[in-house]
Structure formats: structure tokens, C-alpha cells
Amino acid sequence: MPEGDTAVNVSAVHSIARIDKDAWDACAASSNPFVSHAFLDCLEQSGSATANTGWSPCHLTVQDSDGTLAACAPLYLKSHSYGEYVFDWAWAEAYGRAGGQYYPKLQCAVPFTPVAGPRLMVRPGRSGRATLAAAMVQLASDNKLSSAHVTFANDGDIAELEAAGFMTRLGYQYHWTNRGYGRFDDFLADLASRRRKQIRKERDAVARSGLTIRTLVGADILPFHWDHFLRLVHATARRKWGQPYLTRAFFEALSASALGAQVVLVWAEQDGRPVAAAFNMIGGDTLYGRTWGADTDTAFLHFEACYYRAIDFALAHGLARVEAGAQGEHKLGRGYLPVPTRSAHWIADQRLALPVARFLAHETPLVAADIALQEAAGPFRQVGS
């Protein structure tokens, strides 16, 4: 047991349903909905994150001597690298060429959800972060696994993971922040003239397209909407040679769960026929943009449904941020700035660990410089202009 931690029992639990909901959420102690017991349970019970899909749950729990759940971590045994958004395919390929077996591996994450948040989750007033980090390494070692990975972790977790021998990787995604705006026009006024005109042009084009767009929240979302949403997501995935991860049962379970009131669906129809939708979640002071689907090529509809309507919603409901998910430099010109994200990686075999460490030492300053360049070239007016 690491110094400073007082845990007496560390376990890997193969179903979130076997862990007390209130105890888990007391450790999560976060307004981030994705680390909640309810969200993870929806993933498992719906068949979205299970052994059959390559996400075999083995959640870590740490109990104090009085039996209290002091700490926990969402952990999975992975047979691939899909649905993670921090890409290690090249590492797996290189290790395979050297005769190693990269899969299975351990993945501490929220499946299919590139949202930063707590990963080494500790009940207030207790300890256990160091124990969780050490337990991941021990679990990987005992089972002769190639590696353990913690993705989209917060800064406190990263520090603890580095102390346990994990290597850190820097990435970024795009967030919109309310810089004192009361309405959308205030946000536009904060932009450089070219960006302001661009957004107005895009919104006007969608407004003239004949589409009816509504924002549905919580109980407004009916089974009918999920049926069409999945159809639209599958249509988009086929165009991009992708594969949707979340099942129809997941969305139905989510709506019926304690998180149902936090679900937001931007809904577009053409002459009464659903043609596009964007799925979001509310958490604390943030709207999290998650999944988009469409079977129309209406110009600028993606920007309207996923970015501008999200800003509208945040302004109307007093939210401070919109997190628009992974990737997409096109978000920069629409008011979403790059925000650093961090992951941590422990690799057992030094034949792979050493070249990965060299790669990360080279990649990190390049990513940091890219973030700085994008911030400098951001869409906002320069001071004094």
C-alpha cells in the first residue's frame, strides 16, 4: 500500500451494478455526469460497454478498515483501441512487429467519452489515489498485460500517476467559454469581424433552409426521437466509414435514469421528417456535446446544431462552458478554443516503453506549441481593435 493511503482492501469488480451507487457517487464527488454510477451502468446494462464489445469491466475499489468505499476508478480490460480518442494504434502495431502482444490492456476511462474528469476518485476526507494508481500497475503485472492507460484525467490524477511510473501524454480539444456574454450577439461582438460575418452567414443559411430546429430536454425526448437519432447516427457513420458504439438500449436507459433530465437533443426536421440531431449532456456549469447524426447535406447544419445551438443553450441556462468533444480545428473559427487534455500510460516491456517515452518527449512540446499558435490565431478581436 502506498505511503499515506489507509486502504485495507483493493478489488477489481466486474460489473458496476455490484458496487453501491451512493458509495461510488460519493467518491466521484463531481458534477461530471459521465463518471457517475448511473452513466456507467447504462453503458453496461445496454450492452454498449461489455466483454462482447471489447470493454470488459474490472472497476477498481478501495475499502477502508470500516468497510467504507474510500476510492474507486472506472477500469476496463480492452481487446482493442476503439472508442478511446487517445490513439495508441501505432504503439500496438510496433509492439506486434517486435513479437509482443499489446492486447489485452487496461484502460481507465469512460467508454466512448472524450471528456476530461476525475479517474482516481476518492471520497472526501479519505485517501486512496496512490493506491488506485499502484493497483492498476499491479493488476497489469499480475495478469501479464502489456500496459495500463488512463485517458482524459484531471491534473491531480496525472501527478499521482506520474509518481506511480506512468508516462504523460498531452492532447487538446475545443471548448467554448462564456466570457461575460448575456446573449449570442454579445459573443459575436467579441469576435474578429471576419469570424463574426462568417457565423452570421452560416446561421442565416440554415434559417433560410426551411428546416425546423428545436432543442429538446429531458422528458421532451421520447422513444420516437431515439429511434430516429440512431438512424441518423448510423447514416453519418456509414458516410465516414465509422461504426457507432452506443446502442439504442443505452439512450433509452439514459432517459429513464437519474440523468434523464440532463439530456439535451438538438432536433432538426424537414417538412416533419427528422433529418439531423445532436446529443448533449448537462453537467454542473457545462454542456457536453457528444454525438451527431444526419441524413441531409444542408450547408452549415452541423455547425448550427452542434456548436451555435449549444452556445444558445448555455447562454439561456447560465452555463459557463460548452465542451465540443475531440478533434476538429474548424471549431476554432466558431469560438471554441483549444484546451489541454492529458492521459497517462504505463508500459510493462521496456522494449516498447523506452521508444514511447522518446516519442512523448518529442510530441509534447509540438502539441504545446500547436495549442499556443491556435490561441494566438483565435477568432476573437485583438485588444484595442
Average model confidence (pLDDT) across the chain:
95
C-alpha 151, offset from chain centre: 9
Poorest-confidence range of 5-14, 227-236, 237-246? 237-246
Degrees to nearest 5, angle at CA 165 with 160 and 169: 80
DSSP codes joined into one string, 192-242: -HHHHHHHHHHHHHHHTTT-EEEEEEGGG--HHHHHHHHHHHHHHHHHTT-
The band of 385, judged by pLDDT with boundaries at 50, 70 and 90, is very low
The band of 247, judged by pLDDT with boundaries at 50, 70 and 90, is very high
Q: Determine the Cα–Cα distance for residues 322 and 348; give it in Å rounded to an integer.
A: 37
The band of 39, judged by pLDDT with boundaries at 50, 70 and 90, is very high
Closest of 247, 257, 256, 249 to residue 21, by C-alpha: 257
Cell of 275: 433529418
DSSP codes joined into one string, 270-310: ETTEEEEEEEEEEETTEEEEEEEEES---TTHHHIIIIIHH
Kindly report, residue by residue over 182-229, the tens digit of the pLDDT. 999 999 999 999 999 999 999 999 999 999 999 999 999 999 999 999
Q: What is the mean pLDDT of residues 36-51?
A: 98
The band of 134, judged by pLDDT with boundaries at 50, 70 and 90, is very high
Residue with cell 463531481: 30
Task: Give the count of beta carbons closer than 10 Å to the beta carbon of residue 74.
Answer: 28
Q: What is the pLDDT of residue 206?
A: 98
Task: Give the count of beta carbons closer than 10 Å to the beta carbon of residue 215.
Answer: 17
Q: Determine the Cα–Cα distance for residues 136 and 132; give it in Å rounded to an integer.
A: 6
Q: What is the pLDDT of residue 237?
A: 81
What percent of the chain stands above pLDDT 90? 90
Kindly report, residue by residue over 95-113, the tens digit of the pLDDT. 999 999 999 999 999 999 9
Task: Give the count of beta carbons closer than 10 Å to the beta carbon of residue 103.
Answer: 16
- Edge-to-edge, what's the strand order for the sheet holding 321-323? 55-57, 75-78, 105-108, 147-153, 337-347, 167-177, 321-323, 286-294, 273-283, 263-270, 212-217
Q: What is the pLDDT of residue 326?
A: 74
The band of 42, judged by pLDDT with boundaries at 50, 70 and 90, is very high
Cell of 244: 457507432
Q: What is the pLDDT of residue 327?
A: 77
pLDDT at residue 5 tops 90? no
DSSP state of 382: P
Burial class (CB in 10 A: 0-12, 13-18, 19+), 182: exposed
Kindly report, residue by residue over 288-331, the tens digit of the pLDDT. 999 999 999 999 999 999 999 999 999 999 999 999 877 788 99
Q: What is the mean pLDDT of residues 38-67?
A: 96
Residue with cell 480490460: 77
First to last CA, the chain: 58
1 compared with 80, residue with greater pLDDT:
80
